Structure 1
Amino acid sequence: MGENKGMDRRGFLKTAALSSLALGATAAMAGCAPTGNSEAGLPSTGSDVSWDKEVDVLVLGSGTGTFAALVAAEKGASVCVVEKGNMWGGTAATSGGGLAVPLSYAAEAAGVKDSKEEVVKYFTNASDHRVDQAVLSSYIDNGNDFLTWLSDEMGWTFNASPLFGDYYEPMEGWIPMGRGSLGAANAEGAMVASQMWEEMRAKLEELGAEILMDTEATQLITDETGAVLGAVCGGQNIKAAATIVATGGFDHNDEMRAKYLPYKLMATCVVPTNTGDGQRMGMDIGASVSFMDRWWGVPCVLTTGDEPQALIDEGRIAQEIAGCDWAMYRGLPGAVVVNKKGKRIGNEAGPYDLFNQSFAYYDTGEPGHVNIPSYLICDAACWATYSMPGHIVSAVGDGEGSFFDETYGGDASAADEVPAHFVKADTLEELAEKLGIDPAGLVAEIEAFNANAAEGNDPVFHRGEKHLDINTTGIMAGSRTDIPNPVLAPLATGPFYGTTYVPGSCSTAGGLTINENAQVVNTAGEPIPNLYAVGCASSGISGGTYVHGGISLGSGGVMSWVAVNHALSA
């Protein structure tokens, strides 16, 4: 568990007193002035701070911040976790639960051949050379130590899978599996994220960590040197030798989305409490921010009843869960995504984040984002075979031979009632009229698509040619063997079904700029004493690029490990 295991609070504070961690605390006790915001109820310059609580490590956010809290508590530090909402774990607890950790014991056990050099190549190329090489190196070097520690501490094992592997194929450094989406299992079997977070909460409580729910962090408290002394949380001034910001993204902050994102983000599955609090608090004290123009993309069907144009005009975002398309809808045989001109916008069987980037295209001939919104359409055979948002198909074959032998091409009239967010039409022309798509453009596009799909080919976007197409979307579609390509089939049978399809997120990706120790740095690139950031509140480790499944949880966990170990040993 490491040489710091069992360090008591007195020992930690004694160590901190010899380091920069003590700068803020010593200054405050001597009467130095904190910088403050009068709206937050803090003393003005020249006044002392009245502290309501004191801990060794203060963690703001219970998503990936839970890893930081667990590391600190297990090492004997006093810990307080502050969660803004009433849902423990936030967005992390609703995720797929997979962790992206490079060069792990799980990958080695699965026979994956990999190296640090290849990981660096892949991250560098996939991110268009945006990654901070020092931060990336820290993530790679500490990944397996973190995963091994977590496995030992929680009694979990992690396993590699070909699902949701490296997304940027065939970038140099790409491998088919082993880095992304390592799945956790306990003694009872595979775990979902909510189980993981509940077990970690129980462990934190067992170790004596304090958890404050429904408590919003509103301001970082600093001394006259700029060192962070703690934070204002729920009206309390909490003093800490180390403060770790893990408050997530800014998906639900209309002003920040408009200011930082390059085009409209219209739907999100993140918890409503993700409003950029950590980024704002850090910027208030001079922290640098990076990659605020990026998000973890997941295209969405709008099941909420929101009108796309109203979301655009009013600068709002829809809270979406059911319609989030991880790999379940757009790449199904007999389905495509088209824009208002009837043209397909990308490889529908590709990774969710990569496909989401198709919305960014700006038409310079008719100025505007021609792909926002787009439309998911399918034929009767697809509709009768597969579930769609709000439309559940329960019978999917008898388990012998092809997974969908008995149901593919079934009678759509026997399916459930069409949900309100879908439209139904007997012909493609009628469907186009109902959705606002150019009819002639749609008919021409589908005719060309069908001729190739019948042969299992997609010469335009190469759907079904990549490893992830087959081993993620193809698996979601039932690993079909009765058609030439498991993710391709013509849209040949009416009636046809369609729905609005928009850019969405499972979190914004940018935040407080961190160094290789997960320390937040100021605009001069210098570490702000006692302040760390992890997860989607930080600049992360991948240059704002969703390189493979589980990158948010995995990088948040590894950098939490890095942050706490640095704080405890500084």
Structure 2
Amino acid sequence: MVEAAMSFDETFDLVIVGSGCASVTAALAVQAAGGSAVILEKQALFGGSTAFSGGIAWIPANPLLGDDSAEAGRTYLDAIVGAPDKASPVEKRDSFIAQGPMAVQFLLDQGVDLIRVPWPDYYSNEPGGHEYGRTISAALFDLRELGDWQDKLGYFYGFPRMPVGSWEFVDLTLAKTTWKGKRAALKLAWNMLKDKLTGARTVGSGNALQGRMLKAALDHRVPIRLENEVTGLEIDAGAVVGVTVRTAQGERRIGARKGVLLNAGGFSRNAEMRKAFQPQPNTGAWTMANPGDTGGPMQMAMALGADVDCMEEAWWTPGSLLPDGTYGGFHVPGESGKPGVIIVGPDGRRLGNEAGAYMEFGQRMYASGAVPAWAIIEGRTLTRYSWGPVLAGKSPAPFVESGYFVKADTLADLARKAGIDPDGLVGEVARFNGFAERGVDEDFGRGASHHNRAMGDPGNRPNPTLGKIEAGPFYAVEILPLDVGTSGGLVTDENARVLRADGSAIPGLYAAGNITAPVVGHTYPGAGASIGGGIVFGYVAACHAMAPGDRQGAG
């Protein structure tokens, strides 16, 4: 916190800290209202954790859907999130449902090419659940359209830059067993060949979304400052009126006539904050969030008295690491939901629905004391479906030799090698095999919802997600609670204003994205819920800040 005591080097209507999913949406909305905005990013690359992500956004009743309603979306949101609380009060849910369609239409009008993608709501059998899904993404994008900026877009090393959308990855896991999977593989091969022949740099997932966002910002001449780290919030008479910035040229002070929007991510890579707020063990070594996700701006707001909530949560994506500590794969639910796979704790017992929501599964791992857990995979499964770094039908031998896989001819031996209770595992598999034979998971309901079944193999009967684990060899893989960002933070209201513990707003301070306690609370209702909330409340913040009147962040 810095008390303003001198004139600013420059001033904008809205100063945006961070370059995540809310940043461009907010900047464009400010410009559309006749104002000025600047995006400040401390890293050398643009895009935040959104650029590292699957690049999808869950926004009910948005104009790309055509078969959804605000009423159905709200029914589902209430059913999944539960009773209103600090993170997700009634008014904030109202704002998300009402403003979401407007935010999407605004981006479309600004030239951001968004498309609907097939991704069922994660609890699609709950009231208001949508079987096709409420998820949108960006069309594939050629990085060459960014000109001099094409190498300034961040990306996750675990998602190779390829011309494929994240929603197609599940289909690709079925390339050996279904025509749909084969078509997805052929489409990818064709797109890669076209790129090779034409020199195009076509990308999907988070790079497509943030690439298109960046292109829109550049087209509209939004000032974007890379390697500009905000080190303090400027305060005047209790209101946030600007920021202090560390640049290569020295310190600068940038004023904000209407407010400062924090879109700087959570604290995934801050070991001290994770120790203070998060379930253990977790130092941040298992996060796949971008390197700049260190929590500094959140701490600045907390120093001003900002309230926080959901700090124990992260967008858990249970997966594995290779022996060298690098990313091995996010396995729940697209791979663990295939026949012949279960995930167990050290007692050999299953933890939950392996074809269900990944965030819930990560929560279950911690609640059960199963960190790490173990995926148990029948050998035949690896001949049919891909698993992380192991392509379907390829020999798993190199991964056994490296130590990634534990292998044994019997389940009891596998358990002993992995440090799992042998009797527990043998008994659990026997019980699971009965479920597979009958097609009904009596313990966790795996395969009961449309979303669950979409994660399985449609050719597997009677339940696409259940298959017996009975023929050796058997394999075990250590499963860790990887994450793509923390999901707790600053408490905000329906206008994206940052609130104190007494419910009053900190004048001039807004927040959106992973730096906030999300409107979806402790849950993850559908693919892209984190990005969806960021986009919507970035738009909401800009609209509120630019509304007629004095400083709009005032309480």
Pick the TM interval, shorter chain. Answer: 0.7 to 0.9
- 1:302 aligns with 321
Give the Cα–Cα distance (whole angstroms) in 1 for the partners of residues 33 and 402 of structure 2: 52
2:267 pairs with one of 250, 275, 290: 250
Letter in 1 for 2:313: R
Letter in 2 for 1:283: M
Q: Give yes or no for contact 1:157–1:186 (8 Å, CA) kept in 2.
A: no
Larger Rg: 1
Alpha-carbon offset, residue 228 of structure 1: 0.4
- 1:144 aligns with 101
- 1:63 aligns with 20
- Summarize the Cα distance change of 1:277–1:531 in structure 2 as closer, same or farther, 3 Å threshold: same
- 2:446 aligns with 463
The superposition leaves residues 436-475 of structure 1 with CA deviations (integer Å, 9 ceiling, x where unpaired) of 011121112112222331333322222111111012x12x
Letter in 2 for 1:267: W
Alpha-carbon offset, residue 361 of structure 1: 2.4
- Summarize the Cα distance change of 1:463–1:544 in structure 2 as closer, same or farther, 3 Å threshold: closer
Give the Cα–Cα distance (whole angstroms) in 2 for the partners of residues 418 and 214 of structure 1: 42
Letter in 2 for 1:104: N
Q: Give yes or no for contact 1:298–1:352 (8 Å, CA) kept in 2.
A: yes
Letter in 1 for 2:224: I
Q: Give yes or no for contact 2:110–2:216 (8 Å, CA) kept in 1.
A: no
Alpha-carbon offset, residue 299 of structure 1: 0.7
Alpha-carbon offset, residue 263 of structure 1: 4.2
Q: Give yes or no for contact 1:299–1:503 (8 Å, CA) kept in 2.
A: yes
1:122 pairs with one of 38, 55, 76: 76
2:241 pairs with one of 216, 222, 229: 229
Gaps in structure 1 of 5+ consecutive residues = 1-34, 37-44, 307-319, 363-368, 396-411
- 2:503 aligns with 525
1:182 pairs with one of 131, 136, 153: 136
Give the Cα–Cα distance (whole angstroms) in 2 for the partners of residues 385 and 50 of structure 1: 66
- Summarize the Cα distance change of 1:394–1:565 in structure 2 as closer, same or farther, 3 Å threshold: farther
SS at match of 2:139: strand
Give the Cα–Cα distance (whole angstroms) in 2 for the partners of residues 355 and 74 of structure 1: 41
Structure 2-normalised TM-score?
A: 0.81
- Summarize the Cα distance change of 1:155–1:128 in structure 2 as closer, same or farther, 3 Å threshold: closer
SS at match of 1:323: strand
Q: Give yes or no for contact 1:222–1:230 (8 Å, CA) kept in 2.
A: yes
Give the Cα–Cα distance (whole angstroms) in 1 for the partners of residues 404 and 140 of structure 2: 39
Alpha-carbon offset, residue 482 of structure 1: 4.4
Q: Give yes or no for contact 1:418–1:424 (8 Å, CA) kept in 2.
A: no
2:227 pairs with one of 214, 232, 255: 214
Give the Cα–Cα distance (whole angstroms) in 1 for the partners of residues 208 and 227 of structure 2: 21
Letter in 2 for 1:132: P
SS at match of 2:65: helix
Structure 2 residue 499 is matched with structure 1 residue 480 = no
- 2:310 aligns with 291
- Comparing 418-427 with 186-195, which one deviates more in the overlay? 186-195
- 1:338 aligns with 344
Q: Give yes or no for contact 1:298–1:505 (8 Å, CA) kept in 2.
A: yes
- 1:433 aligns with 416
- Comparing 459-468 with 74-83, which one deviates more in the overlay? 74-83
Q: Give yes or no for contact 1:513–1:538 (8 Å, CA) kept in 2.
A: yes
Give the Cα–Cα distance (whole angstroms) in 2 for the partners of residues 500 and 332 of structure 1: 17
- Summarize the Cα distance change of 1:302–1:416 in structure 2 as closer, same or farther, 3 Å threshold: closer
- Summarize the Cα distance change of 1:172–1:480 in structure 2 as closer, same or farther, 3 Å threshold: closer
Letter in 2 for 1:329: E
Q: Give yes or no for contact 2:334–2:355 (8 Å, CA) kept in 1.
A: no
Structure 2 residue 511 is matched with structure 1 residue 540 = no
Give the Cα–Cα distance (whole angstroms) in 2 for the partners of residues 153 and 194 of structure 1: 18
Q: Give yes or no for contact 2:141–2:211 (8 Å, CA) kept in 1.
A: no
SS at match of 2:435: helix
- 1:274 aligns with 293
SS at match of 1:59: strand
- 1:387 aligns with 386
Give the Cα–Cα distance (whole angstroms) in 1 for the partners of residues 387 and 401 of structure 2: 10
Q: Give yes or no for contact 1:391–1:418 (8 Å, CA) kept in 2.
A: no
Alpha-carbon offset, residue 338 of structure 1: 0.8
- Summarize the Cα distance change of 1:446–1:200 in structure 2 as closer, same or farther, 3 Å threshold: same
Give the Cα–Cα distance (whole angstroms) in 1 for the partners of residues 41 and 402 of structure 2: 36
- Comparing 554-563 with 206-215, which one deviates more in the overlay? 206-215
Alpha-carbon offset, residue 305 of structure 1: 4.0
- 2:182 aligns with none
The superposition leaves residues 124-153 of structure 1 with CA deviations (integer Å, 9 ceiling, x where unpaired) of 332231321111111111111111111121
Q: Give yes or no for contact 1:98–1:182 (8 Å, CA) kept in 2.
A: yes
- Summarize the Cα distance change of 1:48–1:218 in structure 2 as closer, same or farther, 3 Å threshold: same
The superposition leaves residues 57-109 of structure 1 with CA deviations (integer Å, 9 ceiling, x where unpaired) of 2111111223212322344432221112222112101211111111112221x
Give the Cα–Cα distance (whole angstroms) in 1 for the partners of residues 113 and 140 of structure 2: 5
SS at match of 2:306: coil
Q: Give yes or no for contact 1:384–1:415 (8 Å, CA) kept in 2.
A: no
Gaps in structure 2 of 5+ consecutive residues = 143-162, 166-203, 549-555
SS at match of 1:99: strand
Structure 2 residue 532 is matched with structure 1 residue 554 = yes
Percent identical residues: 32
- Summarize the Cα distance change of 1:564–1:447 in structure 2 as closer, same or farther, 3 Å threshold: same
Structure 2 residue 482 is matched with structure 1 residue 504 = yes
Give the Cα–Cα distance (whole angstroms) in 2 for the partners of residues 290 and 171 of structure 1: 26
Alpha-carbon offset, residue 160 of structure 1: 4.8
Q: Counterparts in 2 of 1:72-111, with a 5 A limit?
A: 72-108=30-66, 111=67
The superposition leaves residues 519-564 of structure 1 with CA deviations (integer Å, 9 ceiling, x where unpaired) of 1122321222221100111223222421211111111111111111
- Summarize the Cα distance change of 1:71–1:264 in structure 2 as closer, same or farther, 3 Å threshold: farther
Letter in 1 for 2:447: G
- Summarize the Cα distance change of 1:460–1:501 in structure 2 as closer, same or farther, 3 Å threshold: same
Q: Give yes or no for contact 2:40–2:228 (8 Å, CA) kept in 1.
A: yes
SS at match of 2:12: strand
Q: Give yes or no for contact 2:310–2:489 (8 Å, CA) kept in 1.
A: yes
Give the Cα–Cα distance (whole angstroms) in 1 for the partners of residues 6 and 328 of structure 2: 46
- 2:256 aligns with 240
Alpha-carbon offset, residue 168 of structure 1: 3.3
Q: Give yes or no for contact 1:107–1:160 (8 Å, CA) kept in 2.
A: no
Structure 1-normalised TM-score?
A: 0.79
Give the Cα–Cα distance (whole angstroms) in 1 for the partners of residues 96 and 534 of structure 2: 10
Letter in 2 for 1:532: Y
Give the Cα–Cα distance (whole angstroms) in 1 for the partners of residues 215 and 442 of structure 2: 52
The superposition leaves residues 183-223 of structure 1 with CA deviations (integer Å, 9 ceiling, x where unpaired) of 33379997532122123223222322221212222211111
Give the Cα–Cα distance (whole angstroms) in 1 for the partners of residues 423 and 315 of structure 2: 34
- 2:151 aligns with none
- 1:514 aligns with 492
Q: Give yes or no for contact 1:126–1:545 (8 Å, CA) kept in 2.
A: yes
Q: Counterparts in 2 of 1:191-206, with a 5 A limit?
A: 191-206=204-219
Q: Aligned-residue CA RMSD in angstroms?
A: 2.4
